[in-house]
């Protein structure tokens, strides 16, 4: 899927999230609402990981990042299904 990347050999792993939001089993827009409510609880430049399995979240969270001027760091498949969508707080 577009937007997903696999780490290159020797590439550093993604930064450990300062906060993980478990939105597994919840339909959009709930993962985005949870992210919007909690992103200000982490320090600037910290990463928030949104765990989601609703296919809409796969595209909606990165779109929310563009609209709100936060950085979509990357999206990683979860072994149990779904994704960990990493967002860096910019302000």
Catalytic annotation present for 65: no
| Backbone angles phi and psi of 52, in degrees to 5 | -150, 150
The helix or strand, by DSSP H or E, that contains position 88, with its residue range, turns out to be strand 83-88
Residue of 28, 35, 47, 61 marked active site? 28
Residues 6+ apart with CB under 8 A from 44: 89, 90, 91
Catalytic residues: 28
């Amino acid at each position: 899927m577009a937007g997903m990347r696999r780490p290159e050999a020797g590439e550093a792993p993604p930064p450990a999230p300062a906060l993980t939001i478990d939105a597994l089993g919840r339909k959009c827009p709930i993962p985005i609402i949870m992210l919007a409510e909690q992103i200000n609880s982490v320090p600037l430049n910290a990463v928030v990981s949104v765990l989601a399995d609703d296919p809409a979240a796969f595209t909606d969270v990165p779109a929310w990042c563009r609209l709100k001027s936060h950085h979509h760091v990357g999206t990683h498949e979860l072994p149990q299904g779904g994704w960990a969508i990493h967002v860096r707080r910019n302000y």
